[in-house]
Structure 1
Amino acid sequence: MKPYASYKPSGVSWLGGDIPSQWLSKRIKHVTAMRSGEGITAEAIDESGTYPVYGGNGIRGFTVEKTHSGEFVLVGRQGALCGNVHYVVGDFWASEHAVVSTLYAGDNPRWATYMLEFMNLGQYSLAAAQPGLAVDTIQQLKLPVPPPDEQQVITDYLDVETVRIDTLIHEKDELIGLLKEARASVIDRAVQPRQTKAAPLKRYVKGIATGPFGSALHSEDYVSGGAFLINPTHIVLGKLAPDADVSLSNETARALSVYRFKAGDIVVGRRGEMGRCAVVPDDGEAYYCGTGCLMLFPDTSKVVPSYLAMVISSTPSKDWLSLESVGSTMENLNSEILARLPCFIPCIDEQIFLLEQIQTEIAAFDNLLTYVHDEITLLKELRAATIADAVLGRVDVRTAPKQ
């Protein structure tokens, strides 16, 4: 594709640079009317119904009444995915956690969806604990606006290209699922019952402790570049994957010293996916237990920590923990339940033999999974760049080869 014939200064502070000469710079309020949706009680929302209910993070469920009918762009006003954008056509209920954007005559809702998605509106949220968008602030932002006929061409082009990329991402996600199943089968085979009898996990550990309560640690306490805090999301494929932005200052770390892991301890996620765990490595880093995890202290005279972690993460253990866990909306594990987990643990020598036997296979699967994850990251970057090039006029999509 070729660039436009001529460009001019954009006049858009967050964008800088130039835009095609025939495009305009407008405030969002001159392109679309934005208004928060209507309140709705949880009791009025069901798993099925006549009309979808859109909240801050997309569809929440269904209800029997509607607030809107037509073609709109919805922006999440509150929630973890604050600023996310949805193109909606038809009848629906928009809750107070969604901002309904009604495009003025001549402007294309699909084009606006791509434009607002590129703008990453979540960066303008006002609060950290419960992110929220201020409609008045968003409406004052400027954006580059092409003529209506070009909006349609841009939309048609992006509809094709994003579907192509999204399909590839979906295929990669399915491949990851298959690889994880195959990896799990290797672990299950290694820890399947042999001559040993089942015994509760508590016989193989010196203790189990729960991470700090919410009152002892808040998200506002997180700093960047401090001591790593481990929550369930930081446990990936049996290894720690800490986030430098979710860490503790020296002062907070001292106050929570009792929750610092030692090398060889096991961290177990107690929320969400059951059986998620990892052995704390001896790599010189400081790791602390987060509120969503349990601390497990293996008795190394009876069990190799990495073997015990493998037992906990096996399919039979996951199934047992899911059945025993508490919580209606999210599975929740406590130390008492984990202590009762039935474990088939052979002698130390056999544990070491089994670990050595599957080490190569597990490493091969982990390498494949890392490779596919990297491919997905590149595809997502390609998707974002494709949208940016089109909605910012870096390329003239009218010169694209016909699909």
Structure 2
Amino acid sequence: MAGRYTAYSAYKESDEKWIGKVPEHWDVQRLGQFFEERREKVSDKDYPPLSVTMNGIVPQLETAAKTDAGDNRKLVLKNDFVINSRSDRKGSSGVSTLDGSVSLISIVMKPREIRPSYVHHLLRSYPFQEEFYRFGKGIVADLWSTNASEMRNIKLPIPSQHEQEQIANFLDHETAKIDTLIDKQQQLIKLLQEKRQAVISHAVTKGLNPDAVMKDSGVEWLGKVPEHWVVLSLGKITEDKCDGPFGSGLKSEHYTESGVLVVRLQNIKIGGYHDGEGAYIHEEYYKNSLSNHDVIAGDVLIAGLGDPNNPVGRACVAPEDIAPAMVKADCFRFRLNSKKAISSFIANQLSVSAWADAGRLSNGSTRARIPLNLMATRKVAICPLNEQLRIVEHIKALSEQYDKIELEASKAIELLQERRTALISAAVTGKIDVRNWQPAQAEIPREASA
């Protein structure tokens, strides 16, 4: 890496593509010379379950898949290196700071005569991870697994233990600074998203005139609305509505690689339609059997099923290029009376009220569900069309400003992550010399420098 860091004075060939040239005084040796596989089986009753994640080894996450194999797990002790052997979990690895147990899919390695702090960076570096999974064997076409015997044959760059410790200290310090910058950008994005939702919520429920005379809407979540607004049921401004087909109407054999787009729950997001990976059915079957579930541009799409992160009742507008399309089960299509309501105004208002209406109208023990006819009873507050249009244009203009700032923050995060990856790779493969590195004086705590 150019810039702040210098290279070593002399290099030699490692004969390993993933490592490249290494400093002349470094060794290149098989991983198996420095690690012993730990294969002892234990119970999670005796050794707490751990999760192997992109952020290292942590106490088992609530979101982790639970199995009945609690008595058939691998022992992990502090300073062991653990890596998930499957290619679809690439990057999930780290040196454990805890005693515990992990799934049998993971490889557990006990380091010897090599610093765990250096191991944590070296074996989690991008080039090593690519090399590790290159040794894997296929489970299915796009999924493969690497076993411990193959892992043992991977060659590693090995500096002295003193230099290993210096590299680890350098990377701990520098990556922490980068992570802090990333966190600040992520917090900015979160604040922008919250601000955007607050602006939208106020605009579609209170209007744009701060001096408007208000009245009680009679709807708890809505509170007061401008005096000239009318509160009524969604069904009163709807010309046509439908749910997706249930049961045998739409089965796996009906899907194709192209044809009529099927709108699914994952497409319906607060803030807009989310393309994602498309699903399609044969156009002929659609025309003969499912055309009454059609979707055209400007339709309001509402989720009839929710989950902890996406409330039932959230809504968006079908985009201009969506046709030909139809809704799947639990996805509702409402075609509004264009003389009474603008689709984006109503969709935003429905998303604002989604959490409140979910608690009031939904059923279902595991996932909140609101049926189509009950969805049509949801209350909305409408104003004259010209006022709706001004509100929609106001939201669009502000959203474009927020989008621009969010995009800049996302690009900053991407660049910081790339820098982090490159810095780790450069340090652990000897492309930069950090033997004389020390944290800047201003960064050293006063008691440490005393």
TM over 0.5: yes
Considering only CA atoms, is the larger Rg found in Structure 1 or Structure 2?
2
Asked if residue 101 in structure 1 is aligned to residue 109 in structure 2, the reply is yes
8 A Cα contact 1:81 1:122, kept in partner = no
Asked if residue 166 in structure 1 is aligned to residue 179 in structure 2, the reply is yes
Between 163-172 and 319-328, the greater mean CA deviation after superposition:
319-328
The runs of 5 or more residues in structure 2 that have no matched partner are: 63-69, 206-221, 441-450
> Which runs of structure 2 are paired with 1:314-329 in the superposition (5 Å)?
314=352, 316-321=353-358
Corresponding position of 2:36: 33
Cα deviation, 1:96-124, whole Å, max 9, x if unaligned, reads 34332221x21122222222222255675
> Which runs of structure 2 are paired with 1:373-388 in the superposition (5 Å)?
373-388=410-425
- Distance change (3 Å), C-alpha of 1:242 and 1:26: farther
- Distance change (3 Å), C-alpha of 1:341 and 1:111: farther
d(CA) in 1 for partners of 2:37, 2:260: 42
Provide the secondary structure at the position in 1 that maps to 2:94: strand
Q: CA deviation at 1:92?
A: 2.0
Corresponding letter in the other structure for 2:36: A
> Which runs of structure 2 are paired with 1:3-402 in the superposition (5 Å)?
3-13=7-17, 15=18, 17-34=20-37, 38=41, 52-57=48-53, 59-60=59-60, 67-77=75-85, 81-103=89-111, 105-117=112-124, 118=126, 119-120=129-130, 124=136, 126-127=138-139, 133-136=145-148, 139=151, 142-147=154-159, 148-192=161-205, 193=222, 194=225, 195-200=229-234, 204=238, 206-210=240-244, 216=251, 238-240=271-273, 242-243=275-276, 246-247=277-278, 261-268=295-302, 270=305, 271=307, 272-274=309-311, 277-283=315-321, 294-301=331-338, 302-314=340-352, 316-321=353-358, 331=367, 333=369, 335-336=371-372, 338-402=375-439
Q: CA deviation at 1:371?
A: 1.8
8 A Cα contact 1:261 1:289, kept in partner = yes
| Structure 1 length-normalised TM | 0.76
d(CA) in 1 for partners of 2:236, 2:152: 59
Corresponding letter in the other structure for 1:265: D
Between 292-301 and 361-370, the greater mean CA deviation after superposition:
292-301
Between 89-98 and 388-397, the greater mean CA deviation after superposition:
89-98
The runs of 5 or more residues in structure 1 that have no matched partner are: 45-49
Alignment coverage as a number of residue pairs:
385
Corresponding letter in the other structure for 1:33: E
Q: CA deviation at 1:317?
A: 2.0
d(CA) in 2 for partners of 1:267, 1:357: 22
- Distance change (3 Å), C-alpha of 1:299 and 1:234: closer
Provide the secondary structure at the position in 2 that maps to 1:358: helix
Between 24-33 and 352-361, the greater mean CA deviation after superposition:
24-33
Q: CA deviation at 1:204?
A: 3.0
d(CA) in 2 for partners of 1:82, 1:322: 39
| Structure 2 length-normalised TM | 0.69
- Distance change (3 Å), C-alpha of 1:97 and 1:235: farther
Between 376-385 and 82-91, the greater mean CA deviation after superposition:
82-91
Q: CA deviation at 1:37?
A: 7.7
d(CA) in 1 for partners of 2:30, 2:246: 46
8 A Cα contact 2:16 2:155, kept in partner = yes
Between 57-66 and 391-400, the greater mean CA deviation after superposition:
57-66
Provide the secondary structure at the position in 2 that maps to 1:100: strand
Corresponding letter in the other structure for 1:75: I
8 A Cα contact 1:228 1:242, kept in partner = no
- Distance change (3 Å), C-alpha of 1:242 and 1:86: farther
Cα deviation, 1:344-378, whole Å, max 9, x if unaligned, reads 33443332232123332222222222221222122
Corresponding letter in the other structure for 2:8: Y
